Chain A
Amino acid sequence: MSASPKSPVDRGGPAQPLLTVRDLKKHFPISRAVVRAVDGVTFNVLKGETLGIVGESGCGKSTTARLLMRLLDPDGGEMLFDGETVGGNNNSGGVAMKEYRRQVQMVFQDSYASLNPRLPIEDSIGFAPKVHGVSAGQARERAHELLAAVGLAPNQYARRYPHELSGGQRQRVNIARALALYPRLVVLDEPVSALDKSVEAQVLNLLMDLKEKFGLTYVFISHDLNVVQYISDRVMVMYLGLVVEQGPVDAIYDRPAHPYTRALLASRPSMDPDKRRSEPPLTGDPPNPVNPPSGCRFRTRCPFSEKVCETTPPPATDLGGGHLAACHMAADGSGHSKAGGIAA
């Protein structure tokens, strides 16, 4: 493929996942121990979908995002982008890193920290096209086109610096910059979490519009279950570096199979003061990822924990329709007294 950015081609057809992730791992060594931040994560991102990733702090969702973007090198596992190994070279085949990074872009939570404070925003947006061999004039033109696409009038905003914009406007700039190289996959790591509610809705609408307009695929990471439900086609729930449940959004929200997913959903404050919660669904905090519990990592907080949960990590069980849950209660014959009792 030539170096000049243009709309990339679909290789494998619509049925082939855009991104396949198998057994992805990232362990961070700290003094005399290892944090197993991501510890064997397997999932697909289908073409044109939005995959939502939810979980509490320390569950590995942001590390997963950085691994997808290859801002971190994985310690194990495999990633295929439209059927090709990520990070290959000319001899082994696969998609080279520079080419991969062009097709996969990221938007971060902190809109201010992720823009160069000394560049006018049109230069920030045009930076990547220039690196990829586009002339300065064309890069500027591209920047203006994108500013218009995210709802910031170029003649008014192009020469402004990040500090002259509000949080919502800065996040629009970050989104524009992520689109500058015609990516196919955009990884959004808590993109609306730092925004006020009235601005959050504006940015979510924008993300939906851009997805349709440019045929994008999203990986959307958030701790806000309502936002993930709103924007995602499929949802993946993480706990302590592992995927505990994944499936179509309605299956996860209407028929959650894993006790952790159920507790997470039940922890949302009710919007109705007449239906206040009386008991918290879980007690305690998530354990330290340096020393996760044996067997099922959720067992220390799980009301249904039994002997088998202590000894054996539960495999992902298919409940049909692409709904997977890693819980002994979901698997027939696992040895749990409630085995098979929660099939969807």
Chain B
Amino acid sequence: MSAALKMQPAAPLVKLRDLTVRFVSRDSNVSAVNGVDLDLAAGESLCILGESGSGKSVTLRALMKLLPKKAVVEGGIEVAGRDVQAMNERQLQDFRGSTVAMIFQEPMTALDPVFTIGTQIAETVCRHEGISRSAGMARALELLELVQIPSAKRRLAAYPHELSGGLRQRAMIAVALACRPKLLLADEPTTALDATVQIQVLLLLRELQEKLGMGVIFVTHDLGVAGEIADRVAVMYAGRVVEEGPVGAVMRRPLHPYPQGLLGATVHAGLRGQRLTTIPGAPPSLENLPPGCAFAPRCSLAEPACTVAVPEARKVGADRMARCIKV
């Protein structure tokens, strides 16, 4: 929920205020994130929806201070009451893994190919909780059982390449959950998986989130994934959140023309023989954003006022927000 909408007095687990991220090099200046405000309550599940280049993954990485040195990060990033930007390397090492953990799209590149799954999980637990290696391995076994890997005991000794895609993704989830983080960040965790495996992993993540009471931020481009897992969604376009609200409301009746177009362009049953409604054109270059609303050049409802200033976040009802002057 944006700052203006914030109602609950309890400190949120995640508090992003006016986050901007720019990638500056000698010959380019890419504005990847341009003023994002987000709150996440403990135990809540938020989905950031957006297309490639919308800034969704960059936002996620900023929460763990995982962006490269050349990224210029500004704005407030608070996770579990701590200022992430102010942390030094040492503090970050404690923070990552124990307070916040991340799972990635490609488990094969995120896991270390030369260590067994058991070793990789135990390493995390030993590092953070200072327990013995054998206790770490015992915890690893528990975690593999938690993520429902069949014959978990045998799989402890398996290397990542010996597992199928679905099991590898489960193993990565186990690594992320090793130190019971309060916040789990997931960057397209099911995009690389087959349909029958994707739904298994989604349901597992939903179950784990409820069981462990974690806050989860999910990044995806897939509306269906958001529909299965999210409490709330935030739709991003060109580095800004253009709409935010409860998943059901946003998917049934989006307020902003961009999610409206996205929903119309999503192929589903019952469209056979009809032309698909499309959003004309392509997303803007992040090196050279249009003035005002970044979606205006593709928007059928655009008028001159849209290009004057970036639309304010407008509150709609108790729990929805859209950045559009027509709302």
Contacts and interface: CB of A to CB of B under 8 A. Distances in A.
Interface of A: 56-57, 166, 168-169, 196-202, 204-205, 208, 223-227, 229-230, 249, 253, 263-264, 267-274, 276-286
A198 B195 contact: no
Contact of A272 (B197, B251, B262, B279): B251
Interface of B: 51-52, 150, 164-167, 194-200, 202-203, 221-225, 227-228, 230, 247-248, 251, 261-262, 265-269, 271-272, 275-280, 282-283
B196 A201 contact: no
Nearest to A204: B276
B197 A285 contact: yes
Nearest to A272: B227
Contact of B251 (A226, A227, A271): A271
Given A270-B224, A273-B247, A286-B194, A280 B268 contact: no
Nearest to A265: B195
A225 B195 contact: yes
Q: Which 6 A-B pairs have the closest CB atoms?
A: A269-B224, A56-B194, A201-B265, A285-B164, A196-B51, A198-B279
A268 B57 CA distance: 24
B267 A201 contact: yes
27 contacts: A56-B196, A169-B282, A201-B267, A201-B277, A201-B278, A204-B276, A205-B275, A205-B278, A223-B194, A223-B195, A230-B271, A267-B196, A269-B199, A270-B224, A270-B227, A271-B223, A271-B227, A272-B227, A273-B251, A277-B228, A278-B203, A280-B200, A282-B196, A282-B200, A285-B164, A285-B166, A286-B194
Nearest to B50: A196
B68 to A, nearest CB: 22
Contacts of A283: 200
Nearest to B202: A269
B278 A202 contact: yes
A32 B195 CA distance: 31
Given A201-B278, A229-B269, A269-B202, A284 B166 contact: yes
Contacts of A269: 198-199, 202, 222, 224-225, 227-228
B248 A273 contact: yes
B105 to A, nearest CB: 14
Nearest to B265: A201
Given A196-B283, A272-B227, 5 more contacts: A166-B282, A201-B265, A270-B224, A273-B248, A285-B164
Given A200-B265, A270-B228, A168 B195 contact: no
A285 B171 CA distance: 14
A225 B196 CA distance: 12
Contacts of A286: 164, 194, 196
A111 to B, nearest CB: 13
A202 B202 CA distance: 29
Interface centre among B166, B194, B251, B279 (most CB of A within 10 A): B194
A59 B74 CA distance: 47
Nearest to B190: A269
B227 A276 contact: yes
Contacts of B283: 196
A268 B276 contact: no
B195 A230 contact: no
A199 B222 contact: no
Nearest to A198: B279
Given A166-B282, A230-B267, A267 B198 contact: yes
A263 B196 contact: yes
A278 B210 CA distance: 13
Contacts of B269: 226, 229, 253
Contact of A274 (B198, B248, B275, B279): B248
A200 B194 contact: no
B221 A196 contact: yes
B194 A57 contact: yes
Nearest to A228: B267
A168 B261 CA distance: 17
Given A201-B267, A201-B277, A204-B276, A268 B195 contact: yes
Contact of A168 (B198, B202, B247, B282): B282
Contacts of B196: 56, 263-264, 267, 280-282, 286
Contact of B268 (A226, A276, A284): A226
Nearest to A168: B282
A277 B272 CA distance: 25
B230 to A, nearest CB: 7
B199 A198 contact: no
Contacts of B277: 201
B267 A227 contact: yes
Contacts of B248: 272-274
Contacts of A202: 278, 280
Contacts of A199: 282
Contacts of B272: 229-230, 249
Contact of A277 (B52, B203, B279): B203
